[in-house]
Chain A
Amino acid sequence: DVKVTQSSRYLVKRTGEKVFLECVQDMDHENMFWYRQDPGLGLRLIYFSYDVKMKEKGDIPEGYSVSREKKERFSLILESASTNQTSMYLCASSLSQGAIGADTQYFGPGTRLTVL
């Protein structure tokens, strides 16, 4: 079974803090993704990575950055957290079989981040 883990289930931070959300997958997947989920808006893609040190912006990258130094780990960074970044953050990974859209994504349990 694919296993995607996220460092925290719940996180509370203060405005202006630098926040790191960590995601690890154990299935040697090439692709990794970060989404945020908000009520009424569904899941929106923040960033994704198709290889180590490679990254692509998703639909809502503003206010976020990412890091992928190792294949199994994909970090989401909030450089200066703001209250409008309070959300559920979901990480996913997929095996690369050519086109990134063709691959099934497997999700972690999510991190519910509250910024006060």
Chain B
Amino acid sequence: AQKVTQAQTEISVVEKEDVTLDCVYETRDTTYYLFWYKQPPSGELVFLIRRNSFDEQNEISGRYSWNFQKSTSSFNFTITASQVVDSAVYFCALASGNTPLVFGKGTRLSVIA
């Protein structure tokens, strides 16, 4: 069975701090896909990134970066110089083959001005 663990339930940081959200996954499949979504207070899940299991290159998009390490089954998400608008619940998710997304329970990030 596939599983995603986001051990951090809630994180609170002061604006401009860097913050890393952890994601650990379990799967027996060799081909799989990892995702991060953001859920702001409005409620809609916003897609951030998709990564397949054959691409271990780290990705950077503005203040956001992702570190994918197959050796530790982790796909961590870092926000650099956090801003109040980054306050949201962030979900990590895993899918493979014909199995739809399995979500972690989410990490609530609060950025304080």
Q: Which residues of A contact B (CB under 8 A)?
A: 33, 40-45, 48, 58, 88, 90, 92, 99-102, 104-110, 112
Contact = CB atoms under 8 A, between A and B. Distances in A.
Interface stretch (B15-23, B58-66, B73-81, B93-101): B93-101
A24 to B, nearest CB: 15
Contacts of B106: 42
Contacts of A110: 43-44
A88 B39 CA distance: 13
Given A41-B105, A42-B106, A88 B99 contact: no
Contacts of B100: 33, 45, 48, 58, 100-101, 105
Interface of B: 32-33, 35, 37, 42-47, 50, 52, 91, 95-101, 103-106
A44 B44 CA distance: 15
Q: What are the 8 A-B residue pairs with the smallest beta carbon separation, nearest first?
A: A101-B95, A107-B45, A42-B105, A43-B103, A110-B43, A109-B44, A42-B103, A101-B96
Summarize B's interface: helix, strand, loop or mixed.
Answer: strand
Nearest to A112: B43
Given A101-B33, A108-B44, A109-B44, A45 B101 contact: yes
Contacts of B46: 107
A73 B33 CA distance: 26
Contact of B98 (A45, A92, A101): A101
B43 A109 contact: yes
Contacts of A40: 105
A42 B95 contact: no
Contacts of B44: 107-110
A106 B38 CA distance: 12
B35 A104 contact: yes
10 contacts: A99-B96, A99-B98, A100-B100, A101-B99, A102-B52, A102-B95, A107-B44, A107-B46, A109-B44, A110-B43
Given A41-B105, A42-B103, A45-B100, A101 B47 contact: no
A90 B37 CA distance: 13
Contacts of A106: 47
